Amino acid sequence: MTTTPPVQEHSATSTVSTLGISDNSNGNTDDPAPTRTLRMAGGKYITFCESDIPDPPAVSYSKRIEDLLREWDDNRPDWNQTSPLKLNGIPVPLIYWPTIYKYWKGTQWQGVLVRSMSRTTIDEFWAEFSVPDKQGRLQHMKYTPILKQLAATRKADDARLADLARSELTEEQRTYRKGASRFVMTKNSMLAAHYRKLKGLNRDDSDSDEDE
């Protein structure tokens, strides 16, 4: 089998989508080591096979929130070129981990609770998640309160978008298929994810159009 270099520049014939992986087998089920190619920022790709994927690193960012932001996305200006996960020696930002593990080791992927934490600079992040102490000095919030605030914000946003979906979309547009039947979406989270997809709004890795 002819192998592809681990990192290659963008090819005009590539079918890889952003945050996606292309299947390089071309339907050849006899290939003893099928490969997939991950698209990264800057037109770089990593081609790898199942044996290249280690078990998900056991990492915790509860006391290293700034490291989480720096290691999350190679499109961020503060990306620090490091990651607990490496493929063929190349650091893989956390944003790509679900895409990698869901194909061959999907049951091992536990997810990283970052969501909107990754969409700001570090200074902007702490401006939002700092609270005054008894002397009125701003202190960084702890990890668990941050997650609770993010969850509350997401819940409110889901409710807002779900209301828009109910008012703007027909009942048929608010259905999903389960087996041979179709059902009307009722959960705010599902309606919001569906609405974001239809309107091309930003989505995070918790969005899903799966069964309720």
Domain range annotation of the chain: 7-61+80-112
Question: What CA–CA distance (Å, rounded) separates 195 from 174?
Answer: 9
DSSP-assigned letters across all residues of 16-62: PPTT-EEE-STT-TT-SS-EEEEE-GGGEEEEEEGGG-PPPP----T
**At which residue do the structure tokens 């999907």 appear?**
106
Burial 156-174 (b: 16+ CB within 10 A, else e): eebeebbeebeeebeeeeb
At 185, is the pLDDT very low, low, confident or very high (cuts 50, 70, 90)? very high
Q: Comparing 4-8, 115-119, 138-142, 193-197, which segment has the lowest mean pLDDT?
A: 4-8
**At which residue do the structure tokens 């090819």 appear?**
11
Q: Tell me what the mean pLDDT of segment 195-201 comes to.
A: 88
Give the per-residue pLDDT at 103. 65
pLDDT at 207 over 60: no
Could you tell me the pTM of the whole model?
Answer: 0.50
pLDDT at 198 over 60: yes
**At which residue do the structure tokens 């991950």 appear?**
38
Q: Is 70 helix (H, G, I), strand (E, B) or coil?
A: helix
Give the per-residue pLDDT at 163. 96
Query: For all residues of the chain together, what is the average pLDDT?
Result: 75
Top pLDDT among 198 and 23 is at: 198
pLDDT at 32 over 70: no
pLDDT at 168 over 60: yes
Which residues are CB-contacts of 49 (< 8 A; sequence separation ≥ 6)?
33, 34, 35, 36
Top pLDDT among 149 and 12 is at: 149
Q: Tell me what the mean pLDDT of segment 163-176 comes to.
A: 93
Question: What CA–CA distance (Å, rounded) separates 72 from 94?
Answer: 5
